[in-house]
Structure 1
Amino acid sequence: MWSDAASAYAEAGKLDFEANKIVWLSPSPANNTWAVAIRNDVAEANNLSTFTEFGAWIAGGGEVKLAASAEFVNSPAALPKFQEVYGFTLTPDQLITLSGGDTAATIAAAAQQTNGANAAMVYGTDGGIAPSGLKVLTDDKGVQPVYQPAPIIREEVLAEYPQIEELLKPVFEGLTLEVLQDLNGRVQVGGEAAAAVATDYLTKGGFLS
């Protein structure tokens, strides 16, 4: 259930309302879950957009070296699950295993081709992905749980101010994976203040005047 966006959203909203009288409003379409990003030049040269294509490419002898955390490499729910579902296996010499879970380090390794790295463990909305010339592979078989941003509100507040739901809907619908990568990148890589970046997004989207 938790790897299907619609089912996960519906169940989380149901449980939260029953336990806390919290209402879940329209979510963002983005998914900030564990993922793998590859260098754009590798993706373009081998026509790679999805994990199915990635798995077939590796199984066919594609040269990949993945920078990832020890947890991602060893957790049964992470790389081993991707390998099982998508039919590929990475050997120890195809892995650069880092002790921490800092995706800035894995992204930098792939971007700079450290020790031959051309792929990185990431979170879907990491700000360093696009500026580093990487592309997130689509988990087309839904291996990982979905982590969709969504606004929540107390039932009594929504009852008093029902317009909040319609006001927030287009704001969150506009927060696609690519938009969130860009916004996060402006903060994480560009050093802009988060409040200023958020205000800019809302103003350009016509939500603030």
Structure 2
Amino acid sequence: MFRSSSRIRRTPLGRWGVATGVLAVCALALTGCGLKPATSYVPAVGPGSITPLDGAEGVGLTVTSKSFTEQLLLGKIAVLAGTAAGFDVTDLSNLPGSQPTRELLLSGQADVLWEYTGTAWLTYLGQEEAIADQAEMWQAVYDIDIKNGVTWGTPAPMNNTFALAVRSEAIPELGGITTMSELAALPVEDRTFCVEAEFNSRPDGMNPMLAHYDLERGAAAGVPDSNIGIYDTGAIYSATNDGACNFGEVFTTDGRLDALDLTVLIDDRAFFPAYNVAPVFYSETLKATPGLEEIFAEISPRLTDEVLRGMNRQVDVDGADPADVAYAWMIDEGFITDPDD
């Protein structure tokens, strides 16, 4: 039996739970008390393909985000885009948890945030059956949330969902495996997994995933319990890389995938729900500021899994500041310019 890791658990927000009511109250109090999160820094911005909108001068635009790396990056992208468009931007990124950002948007105290379709569907909207098709998931969320006074903009290709990853150098030893359906063809001794405790026990986690791919949990000819190691989330990547298991439960835009040269298996039978990110707006803000949605629609198509893995890696592995990483990417893509150049 594998040993569980003793590392501190780092559960990515917006997957299995939401913040408490206390955090929601704290978030709502930010605007009333004149407070700002600690990471409100962004560099000065010049116009690129994003130019000032007519009527945006002097108009306030409040951006919010959650507090994990990817959300900080997306929050800074939104701040930079709003600034280049000529808005008077208030940066409320880096809030602790999913529910506070949601409450700010629903109440109109925030105008825009980048949110995940799966988080909205399963957590905010209380749906029990996940949707794997990305376009269908976005449309389902849009159709319900528009009645809540929020509008989902153009979704990005990036889909920060669950996945199984394998050490790239081990792929030839495992028969050249590239898809999850090929797990069933492996010898039992090669079907070893590193997963977090919650994924291991959830009714939509490890057991149904195995069944979806024709593998029986606990069976000698399927996946014996001794083949499954329970780890803290942050330790799964290193454990998989070190060979403690062949397949680790990961998130598809995590920068450690590239840093450790882990390859994501293709979910060819579409088990995992879609978690595409999209800009979400307070609907009244869109009515009052024509052209705002189109600015974000220009950005969304450029946000791929590969792009976010690269940016996440710069922050989490290389120690760069999220605002600087977002700024460099926005300049490279031509959305903004450096006013000092």
TM-score, L = length of structure 2: 0.55
| 3-state SS of paired residue (2:258) | coil
**Against the structure 1 CA distance between its residues 87 and 154, is the aligned structure 2 distance closer, same or farther, given a 3 Å change threshold?**
same
**Conserved 8 A contact 1:38-1:118:** yes
* 2:204 is equivalent to residue 77 of structure 1: yes
In the TM superposition, what are the counterparts of 1:79-98 in structure 2 within 5 Å?
Answer: 79-88=206-215, 89-98=222-231
CA distance in 2 between counterparts of 1:139 and 1:129 reads 16
How far 1:194 sits from its partner (Å)? Answer: 0.8
The answer to whether the 8 A contact 2:188-2:223 is kept is: no
Q: CA deviation at 1:65?
A: 2.4
Shift of 1:185: 1.1
Partner of 2:178: 49
| Post-superposition offset of 1:172 | 1.6
Shift of residue 93, structure 1, vs aligned partner: 2.6
Normalising by structure 1, what TM-score?
A: 0.88
Q: How many residues are aligned here?
A: 201
- Higher mean alpha-carbon deviation, 35-44 vs 10-19, is at 35-44
Specify every segment of 5 or more residues in structure 2 that has no aligned partner in the other structure, as ranges: 1-129, 216-221
- SS of 1:90's partner is coil
**Of 135, 138, 162, the match for 2:290:** 162
Letter in 1 for 2:235: A
SS at match of 1:151: strand
Q: Partner residue of 1:32?
A: 160
The within-5 A match list for 1:1-209 is 2-19=131-148, 21-45=149-173, 46-53=175-182, 55-58=183-186, 60-61=187-188, 63-88=190-215, 89-98=222-231, 100=232, 102=233, 104-113=234-243, 116-209=244-337
Cα distance in 2 for residues equivalent to 1:39 and 1:105: 15
1:170 to partner: Cα distance: 3.1
Structure with greater contact order relative to length (CA < 8 Å, sep ≥ 6): 1
Q: Which has the larger radius of gyration?
A: 2
Root-mean-square deviation (CA, aligned residues, Å) is: 1.8
More helix by share: 1
SS class of match (1:206): coil
Gaps of 5+ in 1: none
Shift of 1:5: 1.1
| Inter-CA distance 197–86: structure 2 relative to 1 (3 Å threshold) | same
